[in-house]
Structure 1
Amino acid sequence: MFVTGLVLAAGASMRLGEAKQLLPYRGRTLLDATLELARSCGFDQLLVTLGGAAGRIRDRVDLAGFQVVENAEFSTGCGSSISTAVQAVDPRADALVLLLGDQPGVRAADVRRVASTATPLAVCRYSDGLGHPFRFGRGIFPELRGLHGDKAVWKLLHSGRYPVTEVPADGPVPIDVDTRADYERLLAGETR
């Protein structure tokens, strides 16, 4: 099976007030940590979306091994990043696995388990709810091209149009850094 890994990192970090992709995290940037995670998952193709702060990210983050997809519409929500990135997915891809650039606590083993499912849509089931990564089979790619707004993948997940596999993952949903408080909790080692 040919699997593309997509890291969403195009956001403008409006709630945080600075480029969260570039926040220091364990001796590197927050985005570097997530890109390293993606590299360790054995994907056949690696994509990363950039938008807000793209120039500074290119200057400071190691993007080696990733095809960068620029999203000019990044301010309209993550749906635009996904719809833009799907255009760059290798035609051989059987599935696309979606990771968030501001969620470095996701475990590679969970990503690989989600990636290996056979249903059209898969997501992690943590102890406190559903969370990234998401897996989309090739049959959903046309619908991904039409996504817009924030929470678009969640609406697709809950639409009932596709069978969904919930892949068990230990612990709570990893912290997704949207605010200064989220970042401080991440640095303090909290899991949620």
Structure 2
Amino acid sequence: MFLTGLVLAAGASVRLGEAKQLLPYRGRTLLDATLDLARSCGFDQLIVTLGGAANNIRDRVDLTGCQVVENPRFSSGCGSSVSTAARAVDPLADALVLLLGDQPGVRAADVRRVAAAATPLAVCRYANGLGHPFRFGRDVLPELYDLHGDKAVWKLLHSGRHPVTEVPVDGPVPIDVDTRADYERLLAGEA
């Protein structure tokens, strides 16, 4: 199976007030940690979307092995990043696995389990709800071309147009860093 991984890292970090992708984390940056996770998953193609802080990210983050796709419409929500990146997915891809660039607590084993789901859509079922990563099978990829807004992938997931597999995952949904409080919770969890 040919798998494409997609790491969303184009946001402008409006709620945080600085580029969250570049926040210090484990001696590097938050985005470095997520890209390390993505590289460990064995994707055949790894795409990362950049936007708001693209130049600074290129200067400070190790993008080795990543196909960088810049989203000029990053301020319109993450749906535009998914839409932009979907056009760069290799034609051989059987599925696209979507990861958030500001959620380094996702485990590689859970990514692999979601990626292996044999339905058009798959999502992690954590102890406290649904969360990333998501898996979109080849038949769903064309629907990603027209996404827009911040909750676009969730709307697609809940649309009822495709069967969805919920992959059970131990523990709570990993912290997604959107605010200073989220970042502090993430760092506190390491202590």
2:42 maps to: 42
2:135 maps to: 135
- C-alpha distance in structure 2 between counterparts of 1:158 and 1:6, whole Å: 20
- C-alpha distance in structure 2 between counterparts of 1:90 and 1:54, whole Å: 23
Per-residue deviation, 1:113: 0.2
- C-alpha distance in structure 1 between counterparts of 2:150 and 2:186, whole Å: 23
Per-residue deviation, 1:42: 0.8
1:93 maps to: 93
- C-alpha distance in structure 2 between counterparts of 1:187 and 1:42, whole Å: 27
Alignment of 1:1-192 (within 5 A): 1-189=1-189
Q: In structure 1, the residue corresponding to 2:80 is in which secondary structure?
A: helix
- C-alpha distance in structure 1 between counterparts of 2:85 and 2:94, whole Å: 15
Per-residue deviation, 1:162: 0.5
- C-alpha distance in structure 2 between counterparts of 1:122 and 1:94, whole Å: 13
Q: In structure 2, the residue corresponding to 1:189 is in which secondary structure?
A: helix
Structure 1, gaps ≥5 residues long:
none
- C-alpha distance in structure 2 between counterparts of 1:120 and 1:20, whole Å: 31
Per-residue deviation, 1:21: 0.1
- C-alpha distance in structure 1 between counterparts of 2:55 and 2:121, whole Å: 33
State the Cα deviation string for residues 57-86 of structure 1 (Å, max 9, x = none): 000000000000000000000000000001
Per-residue deviation, 1:183: 0.1
Query: Which portions of structure 1, spanning 4 or more consecutive aligned residues, are displaced by more than 3 angstroms?
Result: none
State the Cα deviation string for residues 74-115 of structure 1 (Å, max 9, x = none): 000000000000111000000000000000000000000000
Per-residue deviation, 1:39: 0.1
Q: Name the % identity.
A: 86
Count of aligned positions: 190
Q: CA RMSD in A?
A: 0.6
State the Cα deviation string for residues 99-138 of structure 1 (Å, max 9, x = none): 0000000000000000011100000000000000000001
Structure 2, gaps ≥5 residues long:
none
Q: In structure 2, the residue corresponding to 1:123 is in which secondary structure?
A: strand
Q: In structure 2, the residue corresponding to 1:48 is in which secondary structure?
A: strand
State the Cα deviation string for residues 2-30 of structure 1 (Å, max 9, x = none): 00000000000000000000000010000
